[in-house]
Amino acid sequence: MVRESKRARQARMHDEYAILREVFPAPECALHFSNPLQLLIATVLSAQTTDRRVNTVTPELFARFPEAADLAAANPQEVEDIIHPLGFYRSKTKHLLGLAVALDERFGGEVPRTMKELTSLPGVGRKTANVVLGNAFGIPGFPVDTHVMRVTGRLRWRSDWRDAHPDPVAVEREITACFPPGEWTDLSHRLILFGRATCHARRPDCVECPLAATCPAAGAA
Ligand code: SF4
């Protein structure tokens, strides 16, 4: 591929994203929740498992422990039993209880609405904070997960695409600089959906890919 200017790359990004908007017109958070606390808990639980699996345990968890204070005072064994199907249930229970205690003691049980406050909570990194900001509060957030990392690398939407271990914060900064804030959350959703549906980690389906005409990695990923 001939070296692409920054302007040409950004134009291509917007063209490719327009196609993803058509393919995924109404993306949604795959985790089930009905308030910010539930989404925060579900997102923390989703580490090293699937959203679908998390959705199988959270109804019971949320019903049994509706408030942060309930979870903060929980018997760990009871929480472990509920989230057992997710794996790593002992460490996840420990994290959840620590998070609930911090929420209860420092924020009156309410989930805070800023990146700084969210990431001050134990076990909450930028990815989780961006999920909560964007999906629970409607505050622009761009969660960078493994799908976002892979897809933006193959499409060369980011300058560090050759890097085997790119810095997620740098990826977030570079990609969000190219799109309006109001688009960030859906952009992340669409890249994740696209990564799951077509641009798979092992065998990307370049033959059927709607972006194959312009993707620099088409047929070579
Ligand atoms: S053409 Fe292939 S590598 Fe490029 S985005 Fe599509 S599936 Fe991924």
Q: What is the pLDDT of residue 2?
A: 64
- Report the distance separating Cα 87 and Cα 80, nearest Å: 10
Q: Is the CB of 191 under 6 A from ligand 1?
A: no
The model's pTM is 0.92
- Report the distance separating Cα 90 and Cα 160, nearest Å: 36
Whether residue 130 sits in one domain with residue 40? yes
Q: Is 122 within 8 Å of 112 (Cβ atoms)?
A: no
pLDDT digits (tens, 9 = 90+) for 86-123: 999 999 999 999 999 999 999 999 999 999 999 999 99
List, by residue number, the catalytic residues.
127, 145
Q: What is the pLDDT of residue 3?
A: 82
- Report the distance separating Cα 167 and Cα 127, nearest Å: 12
Full domain range(s) for residue 104? 36-136
What atom of ligand 1 comes closest to residue 204's alpha carbon?
A: 7
Please state, rounded to an integer, the average pLDDT across all residues of the chain.
96
Number of separate domains in the chain? 2
Q: Residue 74: which CATH number?
A: 1.10.340.30
pLDDT digits (tens, 9 = 90+) for 179-191: 999 999 999 999 9
Whether residue 113 sits in one domain with residue 40? yes
Residue 24 clears pLDDT 80, i.e. is over it: yes
Beta-carbon contacts of residue 50 (< 8 Å; ≥ 6 apart): none
Whether residue 150 sits in one domain with residue 99? no
pLDDT digits (tens, 9 = 90+) for 158-173: 999 888 889 999 999 9
Whether residue 40 sits in one domain with residue 23? no
Whether residue 79 sits in one domain with residue 46? yes
Q: Is the CB of 154 under 6 A from ligand 1?
A: yes
Distance in Å, CA 201 to ligand 1 centroid: 10
